């Protein structure tokens, strides 16, 4: 039976199943009803549109003036050659934004993606077919390969060309070949109405599916950050996350869990110390200054606090000190109430 709540449940479970180097399934759950598709759909779109990849944006072929031309000694006409070329997936070894790369082949030869590998570029799909030239032919061409996102038509890449001998190409930058999602029902706390999001990501090998997913998440955060200027939601979420983390430590447990000697416990109780976190927030001098706390009790408390990973006056808390203090104050107020 569904409970009445004041906020949506925050998913806690996350898995990545790497099916191959280019395919992965990413799952997250449990989501409230409707939240799964609300998050999965924009992530899918961002996987296609925001993931950086490389693509040829222009080509010059020696002896060829336009894409509808033909080349003597090559089985394919220029149009088919360009279609095959656009199926190749490139990576620039320099990680530069743009490279001009020259290629030269003498026949007879069947040319595949692997034949274009050199000190500037790496072709990911090495077995992809490009062209066949006969014994009398020599194929020389120059590619402009650029880094980008999404899809850019040849009409737009043409505007960026400074050399009229180059033929502008449609540029398919995205390395994500396919991104799909399924929304599954999942049982959580005896309630079958929660959702599980399963994203299946397939890339062309330029990057891994995990990298593509991370890029999409970063793009989503950046797009939403404009609203943070007025809502400060990131700070709120960070504080909530930190509060949840603190609850999973010993800091919010009662000092009885420390198994102190009766003398030490009674002294802390009389001083109003209830939670272990209060000891972590104190400096050694503050603790030593508690009424009737002798050196033996001081040493005992210091030793036990060190053993649980939160020494008296610990620097571990840093920015979380205020959050811990507030949480302890809330707990004390609830107990008094």
**Residue 90 and residue 56 in contact, taking contact as beta carbons nearer than 8 Å:** yes
My answer on whether 83 and 148 are in the same domain is: yes
In a domain, 242, yes or no: no
Cis ω before 150 (30° cut-off from 0) = no
In a domain, 64, yes or no: yes
Please say whether the dihedral angle defined by the alpha carbons of residues 154, 165, 78 and 176, taken in this order, is positive or negative. Answer: negative
In tens, the pLDDT along 260-285 reads: 999 999 999 999 999 888 888 888 88
My answer on whether 136 and 218 are in the same domain is: no
DSSP summary character for residue 3 = P
My answer on whether 162 and 57 are in the same domain is: yes
pLDDT of residue 246: 47
My answer on whether 63 and 148 are in the same domain is: yes
In a domain, 113, yes or no: yes
My answer on whether 311 and 216 are in the same domain is: no
3-class DSSP string for 272-299: CCCEHHHHHHCCHHHHHCCCCCCHHHHH
> Cα–Cα–Cα angle for 141, 142, 144, nearest 5°?
145
Please say whether the dihedral angle defined by the alpha carbons of residues 243, 245, 248 and 254, taken in this order, is positive or negative. Answer: negative
My answer on whether 123 and 217 are in the same domain is: no
My answer on whether 24 and 35 are in the same domain is: yes
- DSSP line for 206-234: SS-HHHHHHHHHHHHHHHHHHHHHHH-HH
pLDDT of residue 281: 85
Residue 272 is part of a domain; what is its CATH number?
1.10.150.20
In a domain, 293, yes or no: yes
From the list 263, 86, 260, the residue with the least C-alpha distance to 168 is 86
Which whole-number Å values give the CA distances from 75 to 56, 65, 78, 113, in the listed order? 22, 18, 10, 17
**Residues 86, 200: Cα–Cα separation, whole Å:** 25
Which of 172, 199, 217 is the endpoint of a domain?
A: 172
pLDDT in tens, the chain (337 residues): 556 666 778 888 889 999 999 999 999 999 999 999 999 999 999 999 999 999 999 999 999 988 899 899 999 999 999 999 999 999 999 989 999 999 999 989 999 999 999 999 999 999 999 999 999 999 999 999 999 999 999 999 988 888 889 999 999 999 999 999 999 999 887 888 899 999 999 999 999 999 999 999 989 988 887 776 666 555 554 554 444 444 445 778 888 888 899 999 999 999 999 988 888 888 888 888 898 899 899 999 998 888 877 788 776 666 667 777 888 888 888 777 5
**Residues 317, 301: Cα–Cα separation, whole Å:** 18
pLDDT of residue 337: 59
Neighbours of 12 (CB within 10 A): 10
My answer on whether 153 and 82 are in the same domain is: yes
My answer on whether 140 and 102 are in the same domain is: yes
Exposed, middle or buried, 17 (CB in 10 Å: 0-12/13-18/19+)?
Answer: exposed
Which of 172, 201, 216 is the endpoint of a domain?
A: 172
The interaxial angle of helices 233-247 and 321-336, nearest 10 deg, is: 70
3 state DSSP class of 52:
strand
Which whole-number Å values give the CA distances from 14 to 31, 140, 172, 217, in the listed order? 11, 50, 31, 14
pLDDT of residue 243: 47
Residue 96 is part of a domain; what is its CATH number?
2.170.120.12
Domain range spanning residue 153? Answer: 53-172
Helix (H) or strand (E) holding 24: strand 23-31
From the list 57, 131, 138, the residue with the least C-alpha distance to 92 is 57
Spell out the alpha helix ranges (H) of the chain: 35-49, 78-86, 154-159, 209-231, 233-247, 262-270, 276-281, 284-288, 295-307, 321-336
My answer on whether 144 and 290 are in the same domain is: no
How many structural domains is the chain composed of? 3
């Amino acid at each position: 039976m569904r409970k009445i709540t004041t906020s949506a449940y925050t998913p806690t479970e996350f898995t990545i199943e790497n099916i191959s180097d280019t395919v992965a399934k990413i799952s997250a759950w449990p989501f409230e009803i409707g939240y799964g598709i609300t998050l999965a759909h924009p992530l899918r779109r961002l996987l296609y549109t925001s993931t950086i990849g490389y693509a040829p944006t222009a080509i010059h072929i020696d002896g060829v003036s336009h894409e509808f031309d033909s080349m003597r000694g090559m089985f394919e006409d220029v149009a088919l050659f360009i279609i095959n070329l656009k199926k190749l997936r490139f990576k620039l070894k320099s990680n530069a934004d743009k490279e001009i790369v020259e290629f030269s082949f003498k026949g007879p030869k069947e040319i595949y993606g692997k034949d274009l590998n050199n000190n500037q570029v790496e072709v990911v799909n090495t077995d992809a077919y490009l062209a066949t030239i006969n014994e009398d032919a020599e194929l020389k061409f120059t590619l402009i390969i650029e880094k980008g996102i999404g899809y850019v038509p040849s009409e737009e890449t043409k505007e960026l060309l400074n050399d009229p001998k180059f033929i502008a190409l449609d540029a398919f930058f995205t390395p994500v070949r396919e991104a799909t999602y399924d929304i599954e029902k999942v049982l959580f706390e005896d309630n079958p109405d929660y959702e599980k999001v399963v994203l299946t990501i397939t890339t062309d090998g330029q990057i891994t599916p995990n990298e593509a997913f991370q890029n999409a998440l970063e793009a989503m955060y950046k797009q939403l950050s404009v609203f943070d200027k007025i809502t400060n939601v990131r700070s709120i979420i960070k504080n909530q996350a930190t509060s949840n983390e603190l609850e999973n430590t010993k800091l919010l447990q009662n000092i009885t869990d420390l198994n102190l000697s009766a003398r030490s416990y009674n002294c802390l109780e009389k001083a109003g110390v209830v939670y272990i976190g209060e000891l972590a927030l104190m400096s050694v001098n503050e603790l030593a200054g508690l009424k009737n706390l002798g050196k033996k009790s001081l040493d005992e408390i210091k030793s036990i606090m060190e053993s649980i990973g939160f020494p008296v006056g610990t620097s571990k808390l840093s920015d979380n000190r205020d959050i811990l203090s507030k949480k302890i104050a809330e707990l004390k107020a609830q107990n008094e109430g």
